[in-house]
Structure 1
Amino acid sequence: MEFCEPAEVVAVTRVTPSMIRVRLRALGEWTWYADGRGDERVDIAFPWPGETRADVTYFNREHAGESLNEPTPPWRHYTMRAVHDRGREFDVEFVVHGDGVASTWAERAEPGHVLGIFLGSTVSHAYHSPPNDAQWQLLVADATGLPGLARIVEELPEGVPVQAIVEVPTAADRRVIETRGDVDWTWIIGPGGRESALPTAVEGIALPETPGYAWVACESAAARSIRTHLRRRHSQPRDRHRAIGFWTAGKIGHDGRGTD
């Protein structure tokens, strides 16, 4: 098994005006993690602009990225939306916004195109991890965090009380997501980023007094503001919430994603 493995596009679906779902199939004998959960992270290598195959051989070289004279092929962090056939096939959803390596690639993706999938670990990596005694959950996301939120909601145990607050660019980007949980949805139509309405929305909600868990995935500055509201306004202990910056307004590249 290599550090970066090839995966072929087998289907492309426009889920909403702002979201494209791409189904990928592993090329070779490798598989994605079949026991992953919720918002598990996947790092993806993309083709150079104008090409259709990612250069996975570059990332599998022993000293890849060490030469300043050799450009590094584009790669980005994403969330694994769904896994099929014991890891042989999997879905990734891309927010389309008119520019950027991944967005531009997704809008032009066709069956037969090839991406690189980084493995680099023996286990999948997910951020969503509610304590065993959590009696409710608060899930907050902008469009970039929605694929992870959707999978978390789909995998909820029977009857778990959840408040889900999601900000999307247009009313047509709202989605119906199947779940066994008891989910109360709030959809906000807004621009996200520096103008995100999510911090104000979280500041104004009421949370139960029983032990719970909050998960936040959105633009970095908005995530930090929400984390502050959870701690100060809602008195949530540090081990009862996770706020992840999926991207940073004004910054381009794989290092625009961070977590507290």
Structure 2
Amino acid sequence: MRHGWEGAVLKLFRGKDFTFTVTGAEQVTERYRRVHFTDGGLLQTLGVHPTMWVRLWFDNAGKPHQRAYTLVDPDVEAGTFSLEFALHDGCASDWSRKAEPGDTIEATVQGTGFDVPDPLPPRMLVVGDPASLPAINSLLAVAPKLPATIWFETTHDSDDELPFRIEDHHDLRTVPRPKMVEQVKADLQELVTADTFVWIACDTTTTRELTSYVLKDLAVPKDRVKSLGYWKAA
């Protein structure tokens, strides 16, 4: 499948292409699916870092469509990983529902990266939703003993059954979507310190508003904030 103008742009920015092969899949909840892959040489070529993500290419009514997904449990030696799909209407979710062993999908790696905060904060402040849950779990594994407060946006009852990798020193706060921005802003006022590190990954509108609040209103230094809009709300 040709990748259109987006693929051409990624090539200009030295994006690297790979083909992944499905080895299995499992339904985690009614709205969340995990698909297992062999990596087509990705991990040996590029290595792995926390919150590492790849761009998958889907056929959307004959046109190329890309979506980004965070690697789950990457194994460099075995050349395997999984991807998790928050299910909704669309070609990416449709593909994941039908994925079977032997199926292949094209992918491009460009733009992913993560610098471990130095110094580490006394507590990680993390804001996300089902789409960014794999990245949240990966982030928490950077410093497994480090306390963290996680605000997690929920939309469906089944969101409580998602595969959180939470330990006793993690404070998970589930927040209904309509109250997310207001609740996070109120809580952050009490938790931000001089050596805070804040990580935000929700839809683009929520991410933009909270990032602006953290940088401008709470005056957290830019190098202590990592944010990325994971999807666009309709």
- TM-score bin (small chain): 0.7 to 0.9
Please report how far the alpha carbon of residue 136 of structure 1 lies from its aligned counterpart in structure 2 after TM superposition: 1.8
1:222 matched to which residue of 2? 206
Deviation at 1:178, TM superposition (A): 3.4
Alignment of 1:136-175 (within 5 A): 136-153=123-140, 155-174=141-160, 175=162
Asked if 2 retains the 8 angstrom alpha-carbon contact of 1:22 and 1:91, the reply is yes
**Residue identity matched to 1:11:** G
- Which of 66, 87, 92 is residue 102 of structure 1 equivalent to? 92
Partner of 1:197: 179
CA deviation after TM superposition for structure 1 residue 234, in Å: 2.7
Query: For the structure 1 residues 95 and 247, does the alpha-carbon distance in structure 2 shift closer, same or farther, using more than 3 Å as the test?
Result: same
Normalising by the residue count of structure 1, what TM-score does the alignment of the two structures yield? Answer: 0.73
Alignment map for 1:27-38 (pairs within 5 Å): 27=40, 30-32=41-43, 35-38=47-50
- 2:18–2:42 contact (8 Å) kept in structure 1: no
180 and 126 in structure 1: CA distance in 2 versus 1, 3 angstrom threshold: farther
Q: For residue 134 of structure 1, report the CA deviation from its aligned partner.
A: 2.2
TM-superposed CA distance for 1:48, in Å, is: 5.9
Residue matched to 2:37: 24
Contact 1:18 1:169 in 2 (8 A): no
Q: Deviations over 1:154-202 (max 9, x none)?
A: x142431211011122232223533568211001233xxxxx5321121
Q: CA deviation at 1:219?
A: 0.7
Give the corresponding residue for 1:80: 71
1:39 aligns with 2:51: yes
User: The residue matched to 1:74 in structure 2 has which SS?
Assistant: strand
Report the TM-score, using the length of structure 2 for normalisation.
0.81
Following superposition, the deviation at residue 86 of structure 1 comes to 2.5
Q: C-alpha root-mean-square deviation of aligned residues, in Å?
A: 2.6
Confirm or deny that 1:182 pairs with 2:172: no
Task: Give, in whole Å, the separation in 2 of the partners of 1:243 and 1:133.
Answer: 17
State how far apart, in whole Å, the 1-side matches of 2:125 and 2:211 are: 12
Alignment correspondent of 1:52? none
Q: Counterpart of 1:145 in structure 2: which amino acid?
A: S
- Paired with 1:47 and 1:143, the residues of 2 have a C-alpha distance of 23
Is the Cα contact below 8 Å between 1:21 and 1:91 reproduced in 2?
Answer: yes
Unaligned runs of at least 5 residues, structure 1: 50-70, 191-195, 251-260
Q: Are residues 181 and 115 of structure 1, via their aligned partners in 2, closer, same or farther at CA, if it must alter by over 3 Å?
A: farther
Match of 2:10 in 1: none
Asked if the contact 1:7–1:115 (Cα under 8 Å) also holds between the matched residues in 2, the reply is yes
Partner amino acid, structure 2, of 1:31? L
Distance 1:228 1:23 in 2: 36
The alignment of Structure 1 onto Structure 2 pairs a total of residues equal to 216
For the Cα contact (< 8 Å) 1:31–1:87, is it kept in 2? no
Identity of aligned residues (%): 21
SS at match of 1:130: coil
Q: Give the alignment partner of residue 27 of structure 2, picking from 14, 17, 34.
A: 14
* Superposition pairs of residues 129-140 of structure 1, within 5 angstroms: 129-140=116-127
- Structure 1 CA distance for aligned equivalents of residues 80 and 104 of structure 2: 13
Mapped to 1, the partners of 2:124 and 2:118 lie a distance apart of 10
